[in-house]
Amino acid sequence: MLLIHCPYCDETLPEAEFAYAGEAHIIRPADPSTLTDEEWRDFLFIRSNARGPHYERWRHVHGCARFFNAVRDTVSDRFLLTYKAGEKRPDLASLGVAE
Amino acid sequence: MMTSQTHDFAADAGARVRVEALAPVARFSLRVRQQGRAALGRALGLDLPERVGEVARAGERAVLCLGPDEWLIHAPEAETDAIAAAGAEVYAEAPHALVELSDREVSFAITGPAAAELLSIGCPRDLGRLAPGRAVRTVFDSAQVVLWRDGAEAFRVDVWRSFAPHVGALLDAGRAEIAAGL
């Protein structure tokens, strides 16, 4: 079982308390009605599918119930960092990872 | 009081762990933003704890911080109306959501030297790191529970009424295995 650090509880807790919630930092278009079908498709469905460090959302659903963001290596399944929702996306160099 | 399926736990005074269903209490969920916290705390006669997992007590009332803006209140059943009225009184000054959940959940007490061992059959948390006096929301065999640690060998589990037969039966099976020395 993965151990995940919740930035709101400030504790490292078992994966069974958490739920995965897709890729992070996907910004909803300010004015959806002006988008072309292709742009709307990209917003809804097209994801980076990273091999390696991946920015993603998690929710501590059976705990504080908060959404937060994480950087997880999709190859090793290791969490590099978790941070609160709304905080700036950290660059990979600051995590000691080559881009 | 709603009816519910109850479980008869074997009562053995000398056992390493005992499980019992507890009498009903008044339960409230409180959601309030930062600026309304002090007013709500004064109205309820409690300081709302700021850290997830911390419990504040005043008399027989207890308030547990479940999340950054979420608290769980336990109190004797006789205080139900007084708590609802106290919230309504400060609503204009401090907008909040105070919802009674008394009938949503039931509680089990798990006590004895093997209490943590019994809980470990369903709870993935490291219970050694849950200090006495604290409480947390977590899972027990995939059912969401609030786990209170009242002492080194005393726990309480609040579980939704619909999950209670499952959690109760599993706790009783574990209790029987520990009693049999398995």
Strand partners, B28: B73, B100
Q: Which of B82, B100, B118 is the last residue of a domain?
A: B100
pLDDT in tens, A80-94: 999 999 999 998 887
Q: Please check whether residue B7 lies inside any domain of the structure.
A: no
Q: How many residues does chain B have?
A: 182
Q: State whether A16 and B144 contact (CB < 8 Å).
A: no
* Burial label, A29 (beta-carbon count in 10 A; 0-12, 13-18, 19+): exposed
3-state DSSP call for residue A5? Answer: strand
Residue B162 in contact with residue B28, Cβ under 8 Å? Answer: no
**DSSP 8-state assignment for residue A61:** T
- Phi, psi (5° rounding) for residue B133? 95, -15
Based on C-alpha coordinates, what's the Rg of chain B? 17
> Are residue B37 and residue B86 in the same domain, yes or no?
yes
For chain A, say whether B53 makes contact (Cβ under 8 Å): yes
B67, A13: Cβ pair inside 8 Å? no
The verdict on residue B10 lying in a domain is: no
Q: Are residues B96 and B30 in the same domain?
A: yes
DSSP B84: H
Answer left, alpha or beta for residue B181, where phi above 0 means left and psi between -120 and 50 means alpha.
left
Q: Within a domain: residue B87? A: yes
Pairing label, strands B55-58, B143-151? unpaired
Domain count, chain B: 2
Q: Which domain holds residue B108?
A: 18-23+104-179
Q: Which of A8, A11, A14 sits opposite B124 (nearest CB)?
A: A14
3-state helix, strand, coil in chain B (%, to 5): 30, 35, 40
pTM of structure: 0.90
pLDDT at B15: 82
What one-letter code names the amino acid at B148? Answer: W
Per-residue burial over B118-136, b if 16 or more Cβ lie within 10 Å, else e, is bbeebbbbebeebeeebbb
Nearest to A11 by CA among B53, B157, B68: B53
The ipTM is 0.87
Residues B74 and B112 both lie in one domain: no
One digit per residue, the tens of pLDDT, for chain B of length 182 reads 455 566 777 766 678 999 999 999 999 999 999 999 999 999 999 999 999 999 999 999 999 999 999 999 999 999 999 999 999 999 999 999 999 999 999 999 999 999 999 999 999 999 999 999 999 999 999 999 999 999 999 999 999 999 999 999 999 999 999 999 87
Residue B72 sits in the same domain as residue B91: yes
* Domain definitions of chain A by residue range: 3-29+38-95
CATH number at residue B148: 3.30.1360.120
Do both B163 and B119 map to the same domain? yes
Burial of B11 (0-12, 13-18, 19+ CB in 10 A): exposed
Q: Do B68 and A64 touch (CB under 8 A)?
A: yes
CA neighbor of B75 nearest in space, from B110, B28, B32: B28
Of the candidates B130, B136, B149, B141, the one whose C-alpha atom is nearest the C-alpha of residue B169 is B141
Same domain, B128 and B167: yes
Query: Of B100, B120, B140, which one is at a domain's C-terminal end?
Result: B100
Instruction: Inspect the interface and report whether the beta carbons of B124 and A66 lie closer than 8 Å.
Output: no
B137 at interface of A, judged by CB pairs closer than 8 A: yes
Q: What is the CATH number of the domain that holds B81?
A: 3.30.70.1520
In a domain, B86, yes or no: yes
On whether residue B54 sits in a domain, the answer given is yes
CATH (residue range A3-29+38-95): 3.30.2270.10
CA distance B90 to B93: 5
Residues B140, B87: one domain?
A: no
Q: Cβ of B97 under 8 Å from any chain A Cβ? A: no
Same domain, B175 and B110: yes
The verdict on B65 and B128 lying in the same domain is no
Stretches in chain A below the pLDDT threshold 50: none
Q: In terms of C-beta distances under 8 Å and separation of at least 24 residues, what long-range contacts does B152-155 make, across chains too?
A: B153/B111, B153/B112, B153/B113, B153/B115, B153/B116, B154/B109, B154/B110, B154/B111, B154/B115, B155/B109, B155/B110, B155/B111, B155/B115, B155/B116, B155/B119
pLDDT of residue B1: 47
Among B51, B73, B100, residue at a domain's last position: B100
- Does the distance separating the beta carbons of B124 and A16 come in below 8 Å? yes
Residues of A with Cβ-Cβ distance to B68 under 8 angstroms: 8, 64, 66
**Do residues B175 and B108 both lie within one domain?**
yes
Question: Rg for chain A (alpha carbons), in Å?
Answer: 15
Judge whether A40 and A54 are in contact, CB under 8 Å: no
